[in-house]
Amino acid sequence: MSELRKILAATGAVAVMSMAASGAWAQDCPRGDLDARYCDRDGDLIADVPEDESELLDPNPLIFAYTPVEDPAVYKTAWADFLDHLKEKTGKDIVFFPVQSNAAQIEAMRSGRLHISGFNTGSNPLAVNCAGFRPFTIMASKDGGFGYEMEIITYPGSGVEKVEDIKGKQLAFTAPTSNSGFKAPSAILKSEYGLEAERDFEPAFSGKHDNTILGVANKDYTAGAIANSVMSRMIDRGVIQPEQVVSIYKSQTFPTTGFGTVYNLKPELQEQIKDAFFSFEWEGTSLLEEFSKSGEEQFLEMNYKEFWDVIRKIDAANGVSYACE
């Protein structure tokens, strides 16, 4: 079995989980693409909060995780001030959970070990459909602009000057659940350039965007598909120098990390968590210090149905299924 197929098979295994027997089996529980344990009666494409109070959670501490795009230690510090604010608003202790992979993050929420999270762009649909994730906000600039672009980068002198030059060479992806690190470039390379992994170029999987960016900058990978917001923050921190990489492709703008809660937290607790996001004052905080590097300075209200429409279309173009059975 090829390395690409092994990784895809392993990712698929995350979604192959047993279905819980519950009231969700009833005929009055429409669910669309959602797993059988969830209902979507209002048609917003995310899991409804359970009507049975016995199914609701009121945990202490609350577990928070940020998408594993870079070194978790960096983000534990960056989120410190916000998590203090979250503690104040909810009256609960908050624990930062440093997840190492998108798959582990989704499994943690599905199993009830993760309550509040930021899932990366490509993982949002799987988290929504298989883990009961209810996203409600993303980061944005002061003027309300949001999102990032997928870029394909190489290093000076690599012999890759345009996308077509990738043929016969190596291209690093991050993980199969990543939009900019796998799904979007796969769809774009196939539809716009007729290039497919393994047939036309050698795929490699780095695990995270910073691994790909560092790998290209240090000439370990010939080229790589990455989220440019991650690269901007790494350049600002001096992790790499701008002259170490060259961009040969830049996509349309995609929504960035979506933040939300697991579906079965008590409704009043979910409202307290939402209030914590929207009442947070960024000025002078550790969150602003880190995320202003990619132009993000506020939490903007969003909804999954509209904001993630383009991502679901990319998944459809790649033949991705959200089936969890």
Rounded CA-CA distance 246/232 in Å is 13
Domain end call among 201, 234, 254: 254
In a domain, 238, yes or no: yes
In this structure, the answer to whether residues 189 and 310 fall within a common structural domain is no
Side-chain half-sphere of 190: how many Cα atoms within 13 Å?
14
In a domain, 323, yes or no: no
In this structure, the answer to whether residues 125 and 199 fall within a common structural domain is no
CB 171 within 8 A of CB 224: yes
Rounded CA-CA distance 107/243 in Å is 39
CA Rg, the chain, in Å?
20
Mean pLDDT of the chain: 89
- pLDDT of 264 > 90? The answer is yes
pLDDT digits (tens, 9 = 90+) for 61-109: 999 999 886 666 778 999 999 999 999 999 999 999 998 888 899 999 9
In this structure, the answer to whether residues 105 and 215 fall within a common structural domain is no
Domain that holds residue 172: 149-254
pLDDT digits (tens, 9 = 90+) for 26-64: 458 999 999 999 999 999 999 999 999 999 999 999 999
Q: How far is C-alpha 193 from the chain's CA centre? A: 26
Site of tokens 């930062």: 96
Among residues 184, 202, 209, 207, the alpha carbon closest in space to that of 70 is found at 209
Scored b (16 or more CB within 10 A) or e, 216-252 reads bbeebbbbbbbbbbbbebbbeeebbeeebbbebbebe
Among residues 5, 47, 33, the alpha carbon closest in space to that of 311 is found at 33
In this structure, the answer to whether residues 131 and 167 fall within a common structural domain is no
Pick 80 or 316 by higher pLDDT: 80
Q: What's the one-letter identity of residue 146?
A: F
Would you tell me how many other CB atoms lie within 10 Å of the CB of residue 121? 29
So what's the pLDDT on residue 287? 96
User: Distances in Å between the alpha carbon of 27 and those of 31, 32, 36, 128?
Assistant: 10, 13, 11, 21
CB 62 within 8 A of CB 95: yes
In this structure, the answer to whether residues 39 and 138 fall within a common structural domain is yes
pTM above 0.85, yes or no: no
In a domain, 325, yes or no: no
Q: How many domains does the chain have?
A: 2
In this structure, the answer to whether residues 49 and 126 fall within a common structural domain is yes
Q: What is the CATH number of the domain that holds 222?
A: 3.40.190.10
Rounded CA-CA distance 46/38 in Å is 9
In this structure, the answer to whether residues 81 and 64 fall within a common structural domain is yes
